[in-house]
Structure 1
Amino acid sequence: MNERSKHDSFNLSGSVFLITSDGRTLNLPIPSESPCDPLNWSSKKRALALLSIGLYSYVGLVVTQGASLTAKGLAQEFPYEQTKPFTIESLITAPTLFMGIGAFLWVPLSCALGRRPVFVIAAVLMLLASLAAGVSKSYYQLLACVSVLGLTEGFSLSCALLMIIDLTFIHQRPSAIAMVWSVVGSFNLASLSSVPFITDHGMEWRRFFLYWSIPAGINCLTAFIFFPETYFKRPIVAFDGLTILQSATEKLTIYEDDALQDSDVSVYNKDLPSVPDRTPLRAFFAHFCLCRSTFASWKSMLLCYPQIAFCFFNPLIFWVVLNTAANFAGMMFIGATYAMVLGSPPYSLPSKLIINVNNTASVGSLIAWPLSGPLVCYILKRLSRRNKGVREAEHYLIGYILPVLAGALSTLIYGFAVHYKWHFAAFCLSYGLNAFSFSSISIANTLWVTEAFPRWAAPALVVVGGGSYIASFVMSIALVPWIAKQGYLLVGAELTVLQVVLGMVAVPAAFWGKGVRQRIHARWAERREGALRPL
């Protein structure tokens, strides 16, 4: 096989030749001529699809976390005799567990049905669960509803990220993912500030779910109308006497026409027939029907689960799970306790003032957009230029520096603030830093696992999203006795050390990660079931 010469590093999955010698950034992967190819859509169509994803994530986060701000009313209506063997706190922690479980459901299901059907199913479930929670009469009915809401939010943490990748070129992904994570997180935190006023400080908690069923209904409509199927496998492309093959991992292989006949390209892709002309009526039904993607298969779904198990044992992915769990533990350490601390002596602050801590976190999350999006894009471009136009997956590790430092500093400040009764502003600062850290580290996680292991992007996101939230649920159970035993100061210091130590794993990964990737890819070179485009 006479394959055209290219940069040596380009042969390694996770390394992409992205910048030409004259400084131009390549639009990779190369769009096909098919109207079904999301990269071939107009900017308006892609923007509306991204907007529907962002709206879903926003509504899902609010309805999932809102119960935590109505605990006073829930405790009054459901005494322990009606909740045994559970507690009111179970209504707050159960969604976290089911968010993790949801990742293990939605991503493999999208490989079997396609992105659009699964998106609409999740949106409808969210609407039904919100309405059911608003009219629930017993504790167990409400617990079941918030668990389903957590399950639907698991879609945002996994499958929605794959959909953003479907809609963007490689060089656009850091900005797009940063925008969704930070803007959605910021709007979510700002919206939660209104929950005490909507529910009369938790006394009318049903009102919250009924009100938010309206945005959930709007979300169903946007998912159905504005989000076409994005699950697309690009065919072989002919260009300027060359044949360009794009594999399931979005790698390009360029062949001379005579060399193509001697190569076995069927291993990577299949020829597709020419797209027939469609009448306006057929185009209308093709857009609005809820059909299974022609590129999806049940085999891909079944084969995705062994890849998930493999990713758990991949050290470069398992490290991300631990790092995210530690960061999320810091968020729970602050977010679950600051209202109680500030509402008690010596502060005894009213709720209308305490809620400003949440507003500060909203600002922190929003700041993550420019610092983890455009800034990281600029640094990545500079690193690619210095590397002869090749972007290595290890370049994305630069995105971990700020979130690790901010997350460690936030728990340390909070521990000192509670122990030494610091000013109210210290609480705002710590939670603002923590929100920035969580949004930024979520962005870095998504970019790292999908670009370092595009062959297993889908199962890697399942492991990172699902595994870290399940681990966070376990930590949430241990958090209260942990604080009671050691105190805020020591717990804050321990979480700081934990985040710094786990974050420092990025240093050896930056130097030796490429070699580890080579060994992993060499061992599993032909396993593509969990790729961005599973074959």
Structure 2
Amino acid sequence: MASVGSKREYGAAQSSVYLITSDGRTLELPIPSRSPNDPLRWSLLKRATVMGVTSVFTVVGLVLVQGTSLLLFELENEYSPESIKPLRLDVLSSVPCLCWGIGALTWVPLSMAIGRRPVLLLATLILTGGTFLAAVSQGFYSHLIARCLQGVAGAVSPSTMILTVIDLTFIHQRPQWTGLFWCMTTVLSNVGLALTPSIISAGGSWRAFYWAWLGPCILLILLALFWAPETSFKRPPIAFDGHVISQAETGKITIYSSWEEVPGGQPKPDAPPTTRKASAFLKSIIFGTQTETGGWLAMKAFPRQLMFCALNPLVLWVMLLNTFVFGGMVITCQSYAQVLMAPPYDFTFHQIGLAKLSPAIGAFLAYPVSGILTTYLIRVLASRNRGVREPEHYLPSFFIPIILSSVSLALFGIATERRWDWRWILLFVGLDYLSAIATFSTNVVWITESFPEFAGAAIVVVGAGSYGTSFVLSSVIAPWIQSQGLGMTYIELGILTVALGFFGFPINFWGKRYREYIYRRWSGM
């Protein structure tokens, strides 16, 4: 904690947080306000309910975004290559990656302006509309538009939903909650995908897949209306332990000696509402327990923050790493079904659906790696650092996912080219999923805790950038395989992943001075 006159600024401004006290207690930061709308004051049941709603949305969105890859064999009978030129049929399964990037670029600044709840409501409506359009589509391009809508709506999960998880948790809880959120939603979505062949068989057409998931989409609208209150909350300055503490939404904490030094002075009691009853009722439906958010000024500042993060080598490293890990998972999921349905495996459509349980198991095992292990490492390293948690303490959590990703990609390529037993292929697919989910969970915690003032923009750069470039990677994989062969392509992809992963470690370990310079130069953008 550095002194500047009578005002003292906590280390969170430079991303370092005093987390472990001398007697071993873990501090609960940020400090909750007295407002009942402060999500950190909500009961565990209420916070878990909000997490449940966001998780259900994520599960449905992931099933709809990924499910079309299982329908390609059915769609070959629907769309001839001549009717869809110049595009290929697999664009229907890969284009949501691109739309995830576009959606993240839209949802995060909008949530900063109007709040998380309205964004979630809008996304549920778009997801429902896109699913209905896909079910009734009569041509390839109307189906493609529906897939784009589903991708844009689903982009709420890796962007605004992550900010919601941060809103609901204390700093020391975020690795576990973020890891639990991604691991469990991925597990459940793969279980849902495993049911796809049965749904199609019962419905007699690939359209049955969309009709079956239209019901959960409509249910999501009700869940978002009644069980998803606003989580974005601007905490007013509070008196604590003889000082006045001002806490920004970004995580920056400033300590003053008296109320006279606080910009704006002591906060006044909330004024009674002056809007008409009809307007107040409509506002409550759309915004719920709306708290003060950043407003349109925050959205106006967002492009500058986005540019800063895009040019920041520490954030850029995370984005490129996520590109190769997530992109490797995408192309693996697109190819392993085709491999297993071809000789010598000759899997049936129903067996391919059951094969989706392998990624589910991998995602389940990602939670101990990304949640439990990271929390343990942070506590140990912070205790050895006089109780101060540095963002660099998160870096050891990258080791296991990077190694698993590179090894699983390389071995998957060798196994498919040499026709190893199908159990090996499913094992490598599960390990690839484990590494991808663990990497993304660790990425989120690293970038939001390293640059709390730019958390939203950093998530967009990592999300929009990596998902967009993953789409490019999945588009060039076919000619890459033709020139190098399947096995060599995946080996090279694994080598690139591990090289990029470990290349970034010295940059980040020695990047503390660079982070401090960034905050001195650009704090308050």
For the criterion TM > 0.5, the same-fold answer is yes
- Aligned partners of 1:332, 1:118: CA distance in 2, in Å? 26
Could you tell me how far 1:87 is from its partner in structure 2?
Answer: 2.7
Q: Which residue of 2 aligns with 1:456?
A: 454
- Aligned partners of 2:118, 2:400: CA distance in 1, in Å? 37
Could you tell me how far 1:86 is from its partner in structure 2?
Answer: 2.4
User: Which of 268, 277, 296 pairs up with 1:273?
Assistant: 268
- Aligned partners of 2:8, 2:150: CA distance in 1, in Å? 51
Secondary structure of the residue that 1:245 maps to in structure 2? strand
- Aligned partners of 1:427, 1:477: CA distance in 2, in Å? 22
Amino acid at match of 2:308: F
Could you tell me how far 1:462 is from its partner in structure 2?
Answer: 0.4
User: Which of 328, 341, 351 pairs up with 1:330?
Assistant: 328
**How many residues of Structure 1 are paired with residues of Structure 2 in the alignment?**
516
> Is the Cα–Cα contact under 8 Å of residues 123 and 156 in structure 2 kept in the other structure?
yes
Secondary structure of the residue that 1:415 maps to in structure 2? helix
- Aligned partners of 2:281, 2:241: CA distance in 1, in Å? 35
Secondary structure of the residue that 2:71 maps to in structure 1? helix
- Aligned partners of 1:61, 1:239: CA distance in 2, in Å? 43
Secondary structure of the residue that 1:68 maps to in structure 2? helix
Unaligned runs of 5+ in 2: none
- Aligned partners of 2:12, 2:350: CA distance in 1, in Å? 57
Alignment of 1:175-324 (within 5 A): 175-200=176-201, 204-257=205-258, 260-261=259-260, 263=261, 265-266=262-263, 272-275=267-270, 288-291=284-287, 294-324=292-322
Give the stretch that moved more between structures: 163-172 or 516-525.
516-525
Amino acid at match of 2:242: G
Secondary structure of the residue that 2:14 maps to in structure 1? coil
Q: Which residue of 2 aligns with 1:532?
A: none
> Is the Cα–Cα contact under 8 Å of residues 246 and 252 in structure 1 kept in the other structure?
yes
Could you tell me how far 1:287 is from its partner in structure 2?
Answer: 9.1
User: Which of 484, 487, 490 pairs up with 1:489?
Assistant: 487
User: Which of 463, 469, 489 pairs up with 1:465?
Assistant: 463
Q: Which residue of 2 aligns with 1:374?
A: 372
Could you tell me how far 1:316 is from its partner in structure 2?
Answer: 0.3
Secondary structure of the residue that 1:238 maps to in structure 2? strand
Secondary structure of the residue that 2:485 maps to in structure 1? helix
- Aligned partners of 2:468, 2:513: CA distance in 1, in Å? 30
Amino acid at match of 2:212: Y
Q: Which residue of 2 aligns with 1:501?
A: 499
- Aligned partners of 2:82, 2:149: CA distance in 1, in Å? 24
Amino acid at match of 1:411: L
Could you tell me how far 1:515 is from its partner in structure 2?
Answer: 1.6
- Aligned partners of 2:59, 2:393: CA distance in 1, in Å? 29
Q: Which residue of 2 aligns with 1:47?
A: 48
- Aligned partners of 1:6, 1:22: CA distance in 2, in Å? 23
Distance 1:200 1:328, change over 3 A: same
Could you tell me how far 1:188 is from its partner in structure 2?
Answer: 1.1
Distance 1:76 1:290, change over 3 A: same
Secondary structure of the residue that 2:286 maps to in structure 1? coil
Amino acid at match of 1:274: P
> Is the Cα–Cα contact under 8 Å of residues 12 and 253 in structure 2 kept in the other structure?
no
TM-score normalised to structure 2 length? 0.93
Distance 1:174 1:11, change over 3 A: closer
Give the stretch that moved more between structures: 417-426 or 332-341.
332-341
- Aligned partners of 1:296, 1:195: CA distance in 2, in Å? 42
What are the Cα deviations for residues 97-136 of structure 1, in whole angstroms up to 9, with x where unaligned? 1111000000011112111111111111111211121111
- Aligned partners of 2:189, 2:63: CA distance in 1, in Å? 6
Q: Which residue of 1 aligns with 2:414?
A: 416
> Is the Cα–Cα contact under 8 Å of residues 342 and 348 in structure 1 kept in the other structure?
yes
Could you tell me how far 1:372 is from its partner in structure 2?
Answer: 1.1
> Is the Cα–Cα contact under 8 Å of residues 196 and 202 in structure 1 kept in the other structure?
no
> Is the Cα–Cα contact under 8 Å of residues 404 and 500 in structure 1 kept in the other structure?
yes
Secondary structure of the residue that 1:224 maps to in structure 2? helix
TM-score normalised to structure 1 length? 0.92
Could you tell me how far 1:153 is from its partner in structure 2?
Answer: 0.9
- Is the aligned partner of 1:86 residue 2:87? yes
- Aligned partners of 2:265, 2:226: CA distance in 1, in Å? 30
Give the stretch that moved more between structures: 245-254 or 223-232.
245-254
Give me the identity figure in percent.
Answer: 38
Amino acid at match of 1:398: P
Give the stretch that moved more between structures: 389-398 or 74-83.
74-83
> Is the Cα–Cα contact under 8 Å of residues 66 and 192 in structure 1 kept in the other structure?
yes
Q: Which residue of 2 aligns with 1:24?
A: 25
Alignment of 1:338-349 (within 5 A): 338-349=336-347
Q: Which residue of 1 aligns with 2:128?
A: 127
User: Which of 443, 446, 449 pairs up with 1:445?
Assistant: 443
Amino acid at match of 1:301: M
What are the Cα deviations for residues 232-258 of structure 1, in whole angstroms up to 9, with x where unaligned? 11111013432112134323233323x
Amino acid at match of 1:414: F
Distance 1:453 1:159, change over 3 A: same
- Aligned partners of 2:457, 2:363: CA distance in 1, in Å? 27
Q: Which residue of 1 aligns with 2:167?
A: 166
Q: Which residue of 2 aligns with 1:530?
A: none
Q: Which residue of 2 aligns with 1:361?
A: 359
Could you tell me how far 1:373 is from its partner in structure 2?
Answer: 0.6
